[in-house]
């Protein structure tokens, strides 16, 4: 391990001068600089990032805690975050929390321990009360629908409006018995917010609220979507429209409907949420809500970077809600 001292000795200068060369400081004579660069190359010198981190009190790395990275939604989020961080010279460490509260708290600890300069937390296990226990000076940005309104910065989706728009679209396409495929709705989260939008749209259209049409699944997976669709058909529920709270669920639903011989969009129309890349290429292609992933990732990183750069707790916490667009494809009858 050659150190900066070794290079200094080999080049006949002080370590300080080597440091100045490395960091591109101006006050170094050309000849000196070249001597130093030559010595660095000859000794195959590498800066020790750990030492630099200790000295600077910064690691140049932010953490991203997500339930899992192997899902279209979270991997897209991760890609956007990594790219946005790279634009700012930051690296990203990824923690998979498995959607458990405990793992999410662990990720927060790692950040407090200065392994990360700050943390982007996709909260699924944690709730609002946990957020209130966060240290106010800890650079944290929360994503998702479980925590809003401080005391942390938050980046979220326009759940209510977008869901309402999606269901209204189904109504406009002639649907009258519209099912919702969502998760458990006992707490404030993605499912409960999108359920609210669904209900508003029904009310707007003067349609009845049939509780039977709200179908809860245990997880947002392809398998659960397919199972749920088959259940709906075999139980004789007979919806003519289905709004799924994620595209992954919707993909499973399309498959389940195919299994039971129900034509889409002929007999049932389907719309999802997230507009994942695959949706445009399914057969039939899937209509979806596009929440502007890139803007979310960019804003989340920007907020976190800003927090990292200020030592003081902020006067107020930011709330960013992305825009959305409705992407109409074959599963609801096409554009």
Partner DNA sequence: TTGTACGCGTTATCAT
Partner DNA sequence: ATGATAACGCGTACAA
The contact set with DNA (CB under 7 A) reads: 1, 3-5, 12-17, 19-20, 22-23, 26-29, 31-33, 46-48, 51-52, 54-57
| Token pair recorded at residue 286 | 């899937």
DSSP 181-206: EE---SSSSHHHHHHHHHHHHHHHHT
Binding partner at 226 among DNA, its own copies, none, C-beta below 5 to 8 Å by kind = its own copies
69/118 Cα distance (integer angstroms):
19
135/319 with CB nearer its own copies: 135
Least CB distance to its own copies at residue 282 (A): 7
- DSSP assignment letter at 314: P
Largest Cα separation within the chain, whole Å, is: 86
- 285 lies in the binding site for its own copies (CB under 8 A): yes
The count of chain residues that interact with its own copies, using the rule CB under 8 A, is 54
Binding partner at 265 among its own copies, DNA, none, C-beta below 5 to 8 Å by kind = none
178/235 Cα distance (integer angstroms):
15
- 3 lies in the binding site for its own copies (CB under 8 A): no
- 41 lies in the binding site for its own copies (CB under 8 A): no
Where would I find the H helices in the chain? 4-11, 15-22, 30-43, 49-56, 72-87, 101-112, 128-131, 159-172, 190-205, 222-234, 247-259, 293-309
118/225 with CB nearer its own copies: 225
Residues 42-61, interacting with its own copies (CB under 8 A): 44, 46-51, 53-54, 57, 59, 61
> Residue from 34, 68, 187, 204 that binds its own copies (CB under 8 A)?
68
Rounded-to-10 torsion of CA 302, 246, 96, 152: 40
- 238 lies in the binding site for its own copies (CB under 8 A): no
Least CB distance to DNA at residue 287 (A): 52
Burial of 93 (0-12, 13-18, 19+ CB in 10 A): middle
- 192 lies in the binding site for its own copies (CB under 8 A): no
Residues that bind its own copies (CB under 8 A): 44, 46-51, 53-54, 57, 59, 61, 68-72, 74-76, 78-80, 82-83, 86, 91-96, 109-110, 112-115, 135, 222, 225-226, 251-252, 254-255, 258, 277-278, 280-283, 285
């Amino acid at each position: 391990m050659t150190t900066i001292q070794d290079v200094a000795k080999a080049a006949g200068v002080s370590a300080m001068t080597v440091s100045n060369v490395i960091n591109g400081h101006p006050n170094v004579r050309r000849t000196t600089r070249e001597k130093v660069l030559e010595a660095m190359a000859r000794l195959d010198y590498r800066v020790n990032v750990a030492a630099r981190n200790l000295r600077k009190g910064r690691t140049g790395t932010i953490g991203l805690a997500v339930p899992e990275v192997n899902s279209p939604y979270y991997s897209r989020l991760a890609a956007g975050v990594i790219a946005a961080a790279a634009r700012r010279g930051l690296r990203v460490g990824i923690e998979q929390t498995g959607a458990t509260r405990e793992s999410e708290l662990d990720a927060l600890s790692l950040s407090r321990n200065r392994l990360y300069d700050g943390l982007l937390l996709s909260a699924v296990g944690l709730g609002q009360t946990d957020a209130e226990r966060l240290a106010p000076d800890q650079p944290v940005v929360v994503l998702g629908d479980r925590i809003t309104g401080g005391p942390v910065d938050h980046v979220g989706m326009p759940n209510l409006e977008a869901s309402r728009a999606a269901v209204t679209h189904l109504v406009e396409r002639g649907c009258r018995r519209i099912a919702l495929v969502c998760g458990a709705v006992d707490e404030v989260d993605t499912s409960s917010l999108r359920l609210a939008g669904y209900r508003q749209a029904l009310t707007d259209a003067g349609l009845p609220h049939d509780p039977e049409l709200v179908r809860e699944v245990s997880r947002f997976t392809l398998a659960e979507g397919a199972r749920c669709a088959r259940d709906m058909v075999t139980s004789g529920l007979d919806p003519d429209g289905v709004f799924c709270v994620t595209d992954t669920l919707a993909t499973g639903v399309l498959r389940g409907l195919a299994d039971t011989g129900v034509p889409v969009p002929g007999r049932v129309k389907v719309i999802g949420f997230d507009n994942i890349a695959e949706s445009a290429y399914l057969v039939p292609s899937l209509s979806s809500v596009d929440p502007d992933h890139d803007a979310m990732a960019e804003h989340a990183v920007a907020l976190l970077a800003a927090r990292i750069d200020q030592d003081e707790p902020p006067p107020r916490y930011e709330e960013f809600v992305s825009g959305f667009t409705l992407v109409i494809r074959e599963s609801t009858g096409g554009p």
